[in-house]
């Protein structure tokens, strides 16, 4: 057991802005444009091609279990409703940015189908209505019944906010009204919860958008109940004539129900489930001011970030459980590091910031976003990574689809909604968590404040913020000073500020009366840094990773003349940042002279007593997120550096 960390002092509650409140340009603007121009349509088309429409449509024949797809077969999946949820959510965000009548019409059709599918009592699950009728609520542990509902709720909320259309929102309210009768502590109710967390954070969103406390309470119920004894999944298994010991994953750690959530202190099991649970816990902690949840979350956060997180912000090293293994077990070539898990870490970190500015969370959110998550989508928005290894011999490439297609819509919806992660708004002020060219229309108490960010970030650390309150007003502006930044300077209307004096929890706190047109300038020095891993990370011993600002870099075969593991970057190797507007959509590369072992004098020997000779070699590193967008080849994050 880890000793509890001291609970944070009560802090202002910062709400994220809704997506329509923020216009995103610059780096993330171009990524959103790719999602809107390509990914959003692709997601719908793949669902259509995979036969998902047949599964949800009550007016069509029940589909075969195996369906021809892109030259192979896909199997109908119990979690396909969730894919529609994420498709609808992504479409919602994109429709808000730019009209796409064709996509909107298709989404409306899907919503109409779901409306026809919904049962009179409100229940809605294409799997349990069409593929396994009569089996509803019989296997919460293994199936994805409430998980699917959660994603449909998230889709409904986003689509409502983007288009004002509330049909799916109403459908999901009816469904949740039914769910609230089924689950709970009352007589005849089930004391259950979903094996794949998601419904919790979705119910919070539903409560916020509808103003209905009952949905919030249901979210809290699912969280409070999780892992309690007698264990629900034991009882459920026995009720269904199954032996609880036959659980395929062996331990309830897999779905984080091994202990009541407030007693958990290790991030374990399936990584995406863990991130979704902790996100829901953070929401409930904030909504209910529940410090017992916050303390558990802080322990879990410390466990993750001190022992179980890749340098890219990826997480969950093992394919076996799609999740966590042992402390410091972070293999590079076999890293699972599912795109969804990094997306989930952004969700969790973003929600921890609801308790107030704290660079621990802002830094990790930025790390996962720019690296472990962003890598999941090709630059053109057309292809996807599921696993995100930190080393490849040349055989790892993005695919057009996957039999478990969770990652494509997940990175798409995160990217398209990035604006809501950039800022926090409270009654007393504004927090800027992420830098990026953008315009935000925020609510500070009763005040409307427009904040205009001008910057080339992440390529350049110069950031200008123009503050435009609708009338002069006193409030605080909190600006994250990233943990990776060694030198920062700040001015307000040209007057330098003493950063050390005003920075707390890693955020510069500027409390003043703001007038329209006030300009804050923040300069973050971007240096090329060598990162070393904790000595217990066996795979990284003697190796370094390269970082500049929020971006972790990698070597790719296409840029380098020798096989990547022959390269060594001795201490003192100078690497220069090079602006390359024509490369990979515009990136800053790192270039310099390193050493590489030469094979010239080996004469057919495989082993010898003389150390290999080295010769100078020019190397180039590119941002990790941008790898595998050119000729296929090797990739390496942790370069030999001793």
291-330: contacts with its own copies (CB under 8 A): 302, 305-307, 309, 311
Q: How far apart are CA 220 and CA 203, in angstroms?
A: 9
Asked whether position 531 contacts its own copies by CB under 8 A, the answer is yes
Is residue 545 a contact residue for its own copies (CB under 8 A)? yes
Residue with tokens 């040349």: 394
Q: Pick the closer one to its own copies by CB: 427 or 529.
A: 529
604 binds its own copies (CB under 8 A): yes
Contact 507, 431 (CB under 8 A): yes
Cβ distance to its own copies smaller for residue 137 or 602: 602
DSSP-derived 3-state class of residue 483: coil
Q: Is 500 in the site for its own copies (CB under 8 A)?
A: no
Contacts of 6 (CB under 8 A, 6+ apart): none
For the bound state, the minimum distance from the C-beta of residue 533 to its own copies, rounded and expressed in Å, comes to: 6
Report if residue 563 touches its own copies, rule: CB under 8 A.
yes
* C-alpha to C-alpha distance for 619 and 111, rounded to whole angstroms: 52
Q: Is 602 in the site for its own copies (CB under 8 A)?
A: yes
Whole-angstrom distance, CA of residue 524 vs CA of residue 548? 11
- In angstroms, give the least distance from the CB of 212 to its own copies: 41
The answer to the question of residue 575 lying near its own copies (CB under 8 A) is no
Dist. CA 120–CA 130, nearest whole Å? 15
Residue among 596 and 619 whose Cβ is closer to its own copies:
596
Beta partners for residue 78, in sequence order: none
Q: Which of 412, 402, 415, 378 is nearest to 47 (CA)?
A: 402
In the bound state with its own copies, the residue whose beta carbon lies nearer, of 490 and 552, is 552
Burial of 321 (0-12, 13-18, 19+ CB in 10 A): buried
Closest CA to 638 of 444, 303, 389: 389
Q: Give CA separation, 624 vs 80, 116, 232, 250, 492, in Å.
A: 30, 45, 42, 35, 34
Neighbours of 61 (CB within 10 A): 8
Q: How many residues bind its own copies (CB under 8 A)?
A: 42
Calpha distance 621→623 (Å, rounded) = 7
Name which position in 64, 380, 536, 579 contacts its own copies (CB under 8 A). Answer: 536
Binding string, 610-639, against its own copies, x = CB under 8 A? xxx---------------------------
Please identify which residue in 66, 403, 513, 538 interacts with its own copies, judged by CB under 8 A.
538
Residue number with CB closer to its own copies (79 or 278) = 278
311: closest CA among 513, 553, 487, 12?
Answer: 553
CA distance 361 to 338: 20
Preceding amide of 458 cis, omega within 30: yes
Residue 197 annotated to the active site: no
Min dist. Cβ of residue 279 to its own copies (A): 21
CA atoms within 13 A on the CB side of 92: 31
Smallest distance, Å, CB 306 to its own copies?
5
Active site residue 322: yes
> What span, in angstroms and rounded, lies between the C-alpha atoms of 545 and 97?
36
Which of 133, 612 has the CB closer to its own copies? 612
| Alpha carbon distance 503, 485 (integer Å) | 13
- Rounded least distance, CB 500 to its own copies, Å: 20
Q: Is 565 in the site for its own copies (CB under 8 A)?
A: yes
The smaller minimum CB distance to its own copies, of residues 103 and 554, is found at 554
Active-site pick, 154, 322, 366, 597? 322
Alpha carbon of residue 355 to chain centroid: 19
The residue range among 7-15, 79-87, 211-219, 527-535 that interacts with its own copies, by the rule CB under 8 A, is 527-535
Is 530 an interacting residue with respect to its own copies (CB under 8 A)? yes
Interatomic CA distance for residues 4 and 6, integer angstroms:
6
Q: Which residue among the candidates 36, 406, 407, 485 is catalytic per the annotation?
A: 406
Three-state secondary-structure class, residue 76: coil
Stretch that binds its own copies, among 48-56, 264-272, 447-455, 605-613 (CB under 8 A): 605-613
Q: Does 605 bind its own copies (CB under 8 A)?
A: yes
Quote the least distance from Cβ 540 to its own copies, whole Å: 9
505 binds its own copies (CB under 8 A): no
Stretch that binds its own copies, among 127-135, 218-226, 266-274, 541-549 (CB under 8 A): 541-549
Bridge partners (DSSP) listed for residue 242:
none
Give least dist CB 607 to its own copies, A: 5
What does the alpha-carbon distance between residue 111 and residue 560 come to, in Å, rounded to a whole number? Answer: 50
* Closest separation in Å from C-beta 573 to its own copies: 13
For the bound state, the minimum distance from the C-beta of residue 291 to its own copies, rounded and expressed in Å, comes to 22
Applying CB under 8 A, the span of 166-174, 180-188, 460-468, 537-545 interacting with its own copies comes to: 537-545
What is the binding site for its own copies (CB under 8 A)? Answer: 302, 305-307, 309, 311, 393, 529-539, 541-542, 545, 563, 565-566, 568, 571, 596-599, 602, 604-612, 640, 642
Q: Which residues are catalytic?
A: 322, 406
């Amino acid at each position: 057991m880890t000793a509890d960390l001291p609970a944070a002092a009560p802090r202002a509650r910062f709400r994220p802005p809704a997506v329509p409140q923020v216009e995103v340009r610059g780096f993330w603007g171009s990524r959103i444009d790719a999602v809107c121009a390509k990914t959003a349509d692709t997601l719908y088309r793949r669902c259509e091609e995979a036969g998902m429409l047949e599964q949800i449509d009550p007016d069509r024949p029940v589909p075969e279990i195996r369906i021809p797809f892109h030259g192979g077969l896909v199997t109908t999946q119990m979690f396909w409703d969730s894919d529609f949820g994420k498709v609808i959510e992504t479409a919602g965000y994109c429709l808000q940015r730019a009209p796409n009548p064709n996509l909107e019409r298709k989404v409306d059709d899907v919503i109409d189908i779901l409306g026809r599918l919904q049962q009179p009592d409100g229940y809605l699950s294409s799997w349990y209505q069409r593929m396994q009728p009569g089996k509803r609520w019989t296997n919460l542990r293994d199936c994805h019944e409430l998980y699917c509902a959660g994603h449909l709720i998230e889709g409904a909320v986003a689509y409502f906010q983007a288009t004002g259309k509330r049909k799916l929102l109403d459908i999901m309210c009816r469904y949740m009204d039914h769910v609230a009768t089924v689950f709970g502590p009352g007589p005849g109710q089930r004391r259950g919860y979903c094996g794949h967390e998601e419904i919790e954070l979705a119910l919070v969103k539903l409560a916020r958008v509808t103003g209905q406390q009952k949905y919030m309470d249901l979210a809290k119920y699912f969280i409070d109940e999780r892992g309690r004894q007698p264990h629900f999944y034991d009882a459920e298994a026995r009720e269904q004539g199954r032996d609880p010991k036959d659980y395929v994953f062996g331990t309830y750690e897999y779905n984080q129900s091994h202990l009541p959530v407030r007693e958990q202190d290790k991030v374990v099991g399936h990584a995406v489930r863990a991130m979704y649970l902790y996100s829901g816990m953070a929401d409930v902690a904030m909504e209910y001011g529940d410090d017992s949840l916050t303390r558990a979350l802080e322990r879990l956060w410390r466990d993750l970030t001190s022992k179980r997180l890749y340098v890219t912000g990826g997480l969950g090293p093992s394919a076996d459980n799609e999740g966590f293994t042992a402390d410091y077990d972070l293999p590079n070539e076999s890293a699972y590091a599912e795109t969804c898990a990094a997306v989930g870490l952004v969700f969790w970190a973003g929600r921890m910031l609801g308790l107030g500015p704290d660079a621990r969370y802002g830094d990790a959110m930025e790390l996962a976003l720019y690296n472990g998550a962003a890598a999941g989508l090709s630059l053109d928005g057309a292809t996807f990574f599921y696993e995100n290894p930190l080393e490849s011999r040349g055989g790892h490439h993005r695919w057009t689809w996957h039999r478990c297609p969770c990652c494509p819509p997940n990175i798409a919806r995160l990217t398209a909604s990035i604006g809501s992660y950039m800022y926090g708004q409270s009654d007393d002020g504004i927090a800027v968590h992420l830098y990026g060219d953008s315009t935000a229309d925020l609510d500070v108490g009763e005040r409307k404040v427009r904040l205009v960010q001008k910057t080339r970030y992440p390529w350049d650390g110069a950031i200008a913020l123009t503050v435009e309150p609708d009338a002069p007003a006193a409030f605080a502006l909190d600006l994250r000073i990233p943990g990776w930044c060694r030198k920062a300077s700040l001015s307000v209307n040209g007057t330098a500020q003493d950063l050390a004096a005003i920075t707390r929890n890693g955020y510069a706190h500027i409390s003043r009366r703001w007038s329209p047109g006030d300009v804050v300038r923040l300069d973050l020095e971007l240096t090329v840094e060598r990162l070393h891993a904790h000595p217990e990370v066996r795979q990284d011993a003697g190796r370094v990773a390269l970082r500049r600002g929020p971006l972790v870099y990698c070597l790719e075969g296409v840029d380098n003349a020798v096989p990547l593991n022959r390269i060594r970057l001795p201490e003192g190797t100078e690497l220069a940042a090079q602006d390359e507007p024509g490369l990979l959509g515009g990136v800053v590369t790192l270039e310099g002279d390193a050493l590489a072992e030469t094979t010239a004098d080996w004469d057919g020997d495989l082993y010898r007593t003389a150390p290999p000779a080295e010769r100078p070699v020019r190397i180039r590193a590119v941002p990790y997120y941008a790898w595998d967008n050119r000729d296929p080849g090797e990739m390496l994050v942790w370069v030999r550096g001793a």
